[in-house]
Each structure stands twice: as C-alpha cells, then as structure tokens.
C-alpha cells in the first residue's frame, strides 16, 4: 500500500495520561499516541495492540517514517487490517515527563505507569472518550506488545497488574547477557522477587552508565540490531526515534533470570518472537519460562536481527501477529460465552 493510501486509511491522535497516582513522582505523565483505522466496526471485537518500546527507543519504533520504503510503520500497517495501536513512551523518556533521577524508573515503576495509563486508554476507547473523532468501541481485545527491554517490562506489568488478554514478547529472553555483566551485577540474587533486588540493580546501573564510568563494558553475544540489508530509509528512521536508556530497567534485561518469576506468573496466551540473527537464539529455553500459560506460540522471523520492525521481512511478522491475535480473540470470546 502506498504512503498516501495508508494515510487515508488510518488516523492518529496524541495521548497523555497523568500517572502520579501509580508512581512515586508527583505530576508524572506518560505521552504517546493512538493509531486506528479510519472506520472502526463497533459491532465486532477490536484488537488493540498496546506497544512498549525497547531500551533506547521511543514510540517512534512502532511508527517508522521512511518515505522511500513501503510499509515502514508497524502501527499503520496493522491499522489497515482493522486493529488499533496505542503506544506510550516509558516514564522519563520521549513524550513522557522527565524524571530528575532516571535510575529510579525500575521495571516495577515503569510497569505501574504503563498499566495505569493503558488501563485508562482502554477504558476511554470503550467509552468513546479516548480521542476526538474516535467512536466508542465496546468490545475491545487488549493485547500487550513489548520489544526487548519493553518485552521485559511488559512481562512484569502483566504479572503484577494483569492488564491484557494476551501478550506479545519480541526479542526478549530470560537468558539475558551474562557475558556483558560485571562480577557485582552477576552476583545479584535473582531468586529473590524483582522488587527486592531493584535497589541493588539501580546502584549497579549508576556505576555502569555513569558518564565517566570505570566499568568495563564488555561485548555481548553474536547478534545485531540491524542486518546489512536494511534500507537506508529505515536506518534513518531507527536513529531518529532514539531516546536515552532507562538504565535500571535496561540492566535488568541483561541479568539472566531476573524476571523469571514474572514470566512464570503469566497465564494468558503468549506470542514469543525472535529474529534469526537476534541477540538470543535460545528460542525454546525462553519459551519454557512461560510455564503457566497454556497457549505459547514461538515465531522466528527469517532474515532479521534484533529490531524486527526494521527488517526486510518485517511484514511477515506483522501478518503473523495479526492472524495470531484474531485467533486469540476468537478463543477468548468462545471461553467467555461458554456456560
């Protein structure tokens, strides 16, 4: 579909939510946008993908702008297939309000902010008050989508708050990056609940990511963010959406097993995807971490590195994701209507 045709088929609106009731930061807000088809069917279930970006990325990861590349934007692509996309920047970065001490935005804090805001977004979509010009959509199927660090935060959010009917985890595995950790980071006891280790993680993050750090940043396993065949327009789009890292949350993503307790608690359908040149290749080991879900799907995107939305094969993932979400929606509705 051409860029002009996509523009005519979908609309987008900015969003902002006060999350100060859910996090220890007075006046804190998260900002982002909603992208939806120009015409929504109010009489059928509507899939809403709530998207959480990875480390160093903003909501722009889900809405790449590259005039010379067809189907650059995941959000607009799936919106033309009758889905709604809501994307909010993590607290402290991008369109969300800054935080004086960004190291305090740990995974449980980031998850609480997203849950509070996305819960309101879903409620307002149902009521027809989310954005001017958007109709009320009573039958919503909320599905969380998280990439990389965003996938880790999504898992914590679902385990603690049960925001979604299903979750999509892209490029995040519980195996972490042990080869890149310092001895102090590797010694953090992940058998404790996540909230119990977040203070230690934040202290380590302050050392690792300080401007004049003495921490040796060792290389990680084979894998990359973008393969060599990614078009220049998509490379520029990727760089244009970059934001500062949520340091404490980013470090948690690197520590093996740090959020396994959250993964074990997730009991809704899970779609787990990696690129075939991703930062992790332990596909089945990571799949097994979701042991409470009775519906776990694994998909490995060919010819893709870590940033799947910019791979030349990206639409294969998006088509697969939409088809899976529709299947989940049908199963969920059938279970709900059973006597």
Render pLDDT for 176-193 as a digit per residue (tens, 0 to 9): 999 999 999 999 999 999
Provide the greatest CA pair distance for the chain: 63
What's the mean per-residue pLDDT of the chain? 92
- Give the list of residues 6+ apart from residue 264 with CB closer than 8 angstroms, or none: 289, 290, 291, 292
Asked whether the predicted pLDDT for residue 122 surpasses 60, the reply is yes
Confidence of residue 43 (pLDDT cuts 50, 70, 90): confident
Question: What is d(CA 157, CA 145) in angstroms, rounded to the nearest whole number?
Answer: 11
- CATH number of residue 81's parent domain: 3.40.50.1820
Report the helix count and the strand count for the chain, using DSSP H and E.
11, 8
As given in the structure block, the two tokens for residue 148 are 């990389």
The pLDDT, as a whole number, for residue 211 is: 85
Residue-range definition of the domain harbouring residue 81: 3-337
Taking 3-state DSSP, the helix, strand and coil percentages for the chain, each rounded to the nearest 5, stand at: 40, 15, 45
Confidence of residue 321 (pLDDT cuts 50, 70, 90): very high
Question: What is d(CA 275, CA 329) in angstroms, rounded to the nearest whole number?
Answer: 25
The pLDDT, as a whole number, for residue 70 is: 92
Q: Is 166:269 a contact under the CB 8 Å cutoff? A: yes
**Once rounded to an integer, what is the mean pLDDT over residues 233-256?**
96
Give Cα separations from 69 to 89, 237, 275, 293 (angstroms). 25, 10, 20, 37
pLDDT digits (tens, 9 = 90+) for 165-174: 999 999 999 9
Asked whether the predicted pLDDT for residue 222 surpasses 90, the reply is no
**Cα dihedral 90, 168, 14, 47 in deg (nearest 10):** -150
The pLDDT, as a whole number, for residue 268 is: 97
- Give the list of residues 6+ apart from residue 39 with CB closer than 8 angstroms, or none: none
The pLDDT, as a whole number, for residue 42 is: 76
Give Cα separations from 37 to 76, 89, 124, 303, 327 (angstroms). 8, 22, 17, 29, 20
Give Cα separations from 140 to 9, 59, 62, 151, 323 (angstroms). 20, 22, 20, 22, 16
Q: Cα angle at 240 between 238 and 243, to 5 degrees?
A: 95
Q: Which sign does the torsion angle of CA 263, 144, 153, 159 carry?
A: negative
Question: What is d(CA 70, CA 89) in angstroms, rounded to the nearest whole number?
Answer: 25
Asked whether the predicted pLDDT for residue 74 surpasses 60, the reply is yes
As given in the structure block, the two tokens for residue 271 are 């779609």
Question: What is d(CA 282, CA 145) in angstroms, rounded to the nearest whole number?
Answer: 20
Question: What is d(CA 310, CA 237) in angstroms, rounded to the nearest whole number?
Answer: 9
Asked whether the predicted pLDDT for residue 236 surpasses 90, the reply is yes
As given in the structure block, the two tokens for residue 300 are 């490995």
Other Cβ atoms less than 10 A from the Cβ of 116: the count is 21
Asked whether the predicted pLDDT for residue 335 surpasses 70, the reply is no
The pLDDT, as a whole number, for residue 14 is: 97
* pTM for this model (two decimals): 0.94
**Once rounded to an integer, what is the mean pLDDT over residues 72-79?**
97
Structurally, the chain folds into a number of domains equal to: 1
**Once rounded to an integer, what is the mean pLDDT over residues 39-51?**
89
Q: Is 32:63 a contact under the CB 8 Å cutoff? A: no
The pLDDT, as a whole number, for residue 216 is: 67
DSSP, collapsed to helix, strand or coil, labels residue 114 as helix
The pLDDT, as a whole number, for residue 9 is: 86
């Amino acid at each position: 579909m051409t860029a002009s045709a996509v523009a005519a088929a979908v609309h987008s609106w900015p969003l902002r939510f006060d999350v100060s009731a859910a996090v220890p930061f007075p006046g804190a807000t998260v900002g982002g946008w909603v992208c939806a088809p120009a015409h929504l069917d109010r009489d059928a279930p509507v899939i809403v993908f709530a998207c959480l970006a990875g480390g160093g990325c903003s909501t722009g990861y889900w809405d790449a702008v590259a005039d010379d590349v067809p189907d650059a934007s995941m959000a607009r692509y799936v919106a033309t297939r009758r889905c709604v996309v809501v994307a909010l920047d993590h607290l402290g970065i991008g369109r969300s309000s800054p935080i004086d001490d960004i190291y305090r935005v740990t995974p449980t804090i980031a998850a609480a902010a997203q849950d509070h805001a996305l819960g309101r977004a879903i409620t307002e979509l149902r009521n027809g008050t989310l954005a001017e010009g958007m109709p009320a959509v009573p039958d919503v199927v909320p599905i969380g989508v998280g990439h990389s660090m965003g996938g880790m935060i999504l898992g914590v959010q679902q385990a603690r708050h049960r925001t979604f009917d299903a979750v999509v985890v892209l490029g995040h595995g519980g195996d972490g990056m042990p080869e890149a950790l310092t001895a102090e980071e590797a010694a953090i006891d992940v058998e404790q609940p996540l909230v119990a280790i977040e203070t230690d993680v934040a202290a380590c993050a302050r050392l690792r990511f300080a401007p004049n750090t003495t921490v040796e940043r060792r290389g990680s396993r084979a894998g990359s963010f973008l393969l060599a065949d990614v078009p220049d327009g998509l490379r520029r789009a990727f760089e244009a959406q970059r934001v500062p890292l949520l340091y404490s949350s980013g470090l948690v993503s690197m520590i093996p097993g740090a959020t396994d307790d959250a993964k074990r608690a997730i009991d809704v359908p899970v779609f787990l995807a990696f690129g075939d040149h991703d930062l992790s290749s332990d596909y089945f080991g990571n799949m097994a971490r979701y042991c409470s879900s009775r519906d776990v799907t694994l998909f490995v995107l060919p010819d893709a590195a870590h940033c799947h939305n910019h791979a030349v094969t990206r639409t294969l993932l998006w088509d697969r994701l939409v088809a899976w979400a529709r299947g989940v929606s049908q199963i969920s509705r059938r279970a709900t209507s059973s006597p």
